[in-house]
Structure 1
Amino acid sequence: MALITYSCKEVKENKIITTQPTAKTSKELVKASYEDLEGNPIELSQYKGKRVLLNYWATWCRPCIEEMPDMEKAQLVLEQENYIFLFASDQSIKKITDFKNKRGFNLKYIKYNGMYAEQAISALPVTLIYNEVGEQVHRFDGGLKWDSPEMIEKLRQVK
C-alpha cells in the first residue's frame, strides 16, 4: 500500500514540474519537407515565382535512372524559361550523394523527409509539375521521354 501511495505521489510531483522547450528543442521537432545534400532545409515555397519539376526517385529504381538523361536534356532546354528541376529521394543523403558522384548527372538532388504515401506515391518515378504560383498542375507516374518535342511543349505551356 505504501508503494502505491509513494508511486502516485511521484506522478503527481512530475505533473507539477514543467519545462519550456528551448529553441533548439523546438527546431529539432520541426523538420523541413526536403533537404539539400548539405543538410540545409528546403521547402517548395522557396521556389514560388518559378515553374518546378519535382521528380520522386530512388537509387534502386531502374525506370527512374533511365529517364534521368532525358530529364537532364529537358532541363537544359528549359533553363531559360523559369524552370527549376528537383530530384527528391527518401534515401539517405549519403546514398543520394554516392549516386550523384557515380552517375555524374547534372541534376539538383534533394532528400525528401516525408513518406511517399503522403504524396499518394505507390510506385516510382513520379513527377509533379508546379506553376509559378506554386499550384500543382500536372502529375506523371512512370518513366517518360522528357526531352521529346511534345513533352517540352507541354512543359512550356505550364501557366
Structure 2
Amino acid sequence: MDKKKKKTWIQYGIFAAVVIFLYTTGLHTEVIGYAQRGLLATGFMNPDVTEIVQARNEESTNASVENLNQTKVDFNLKLADRDDNIHSLEEFRGKVIFLNFWATWCPPCVAEMPGIDKLHEQMDNDVAFVLLSFDEDFEKAKAFDKRKGYNLPIYAPASNLPTMFQSSALPTTYVIDAKGNLALTHMGMANYSDPEFKKFLISLK
C-alpha cells in the first residue's frame, strides 16, 4: 500500500473513531445541535409572527371578541416538575404561555435551547414557560438543564396529551395568549430570542 492510500485510510479511521465516540457517549446530539445554531442565526427558521400579529389585529377590528375565529386551548394537561410535583396547564391560564416540546436526544431542540433560555430570562414575569421533555428518563432532562446552567421550568408529561398538542415533530412550540387561545404552532427549531418574537409575546397579554 503506497503512502497516499495509507494516509487516506488513516483519515477514514480517525473520522470513524470520532463518529463512534460521539454516538456512544451521546455527544453527537450536542455537536449537531451546535452546528444547527448557525442556521438559526439566519432567522430563516423563525415563525413569521408579523403576519400573525397583523391578522389578529384585523380580526379584532372587524369582529367582536366573541365572534373571533380562534382556537380555544384544551388546558387538560398534567405536568410533573423536576421534584415530581404534579401541576396542570390550567394553573397558567390567564397568562401568555410558551409551551415547548423537546428532548435531550433531539439536535434541533438542543440548538434552540440557548435562545429559549435567553427569552426566559428576559420575559419570565410576563410569560409562563413550560418546557415539556419527551425523554424516556426525565433525569436526563434535569441533568442536561443543570449541566448547561439554564434553570428552565422543565416538566415531564403526567397525563395523555390533548389532541391539539399531539405533534409528530420535535421540537414543537405552542404559544397561548392570555385569553386561552392558541396563537401559534411552530414545528421545528427557531431563534426565540429574536426581538420580533418578544414583541409578539407581549402583544398577546
Taking structure 2 as the reference length, the TM-score comes to: 0.56
Counterpart CA distance in 2 for 1:125 and 1:117 is 17
Higher helix share: 2
- The one-character-per-residue Cα deviations of 1:115-135 (angstroms, maximum 9, x if unpaired) are 669423111000111122332
- Aligned-partner SS, 2:196: helix
- 2:92 alignment counterpart: 47
Q: Distance in 2 between matches of 1:145 and 1:90?
A: 21
Q: Secondary structure at the match of 2:179?
A: coil
Q: Aligned pair in 2 of structure 1 residues 158, 117: CA closer, same or farther (>3 Å)? A: closer
- For 1:103-142, what aligned pairs fall within 5 Å after superposition? 103-114=148-159, 118=163, 119-142=165-188
1:78, distance to aligned residue in structure 2 (A): 1.8
User: How many residues matched?
Assistant: 127
Q: Secondary structure at the match of 2:170?
A: coil
Q: Is the 8 A contact 1:50 1:131 kept in 2?
A: yes
CA distance in 1, matches of 2:147, 2:119: 21
Structure 2 stretches of 5 or more lacking a match?
A: 1-76
Paired letter, 2:81: D
List gaps (5 residues or longer) in structure 1.
1-31
Identity among equivalent pairs (%):
28
- Does 2:200 correspond to 1:146? no
Q: What CA deviation, in whole Å up to 9, does each residue of 1:12-68 have, x standing for no partner?
A: xxxxxxxxxxxxxxxxxxxx6211011111111001221110100001011111111
CA RMSD of aligned residues (A): 2.0
Whole-angstrom distance in 2 between the partners of 1:116 and 1:125: 15
The aligned amino acid for 2:132 is: A
Aligned amino acid, residue 188 of structure 2: G
- Residue 133 of structure 2: which of 80, 86, 89 is its match? 89
Output one character per residue of 1:76-97: Cα deviation in whole Å (capped at 9) or x when no partner. 22234x2111110132332222
Q: Tell me the residue number matched to 2:81.
A: 36
CA distance in structure 2 between the partners assigned to 1:34 and 1:117 by the alignment: 12
TM-score (norm 1): 0.71
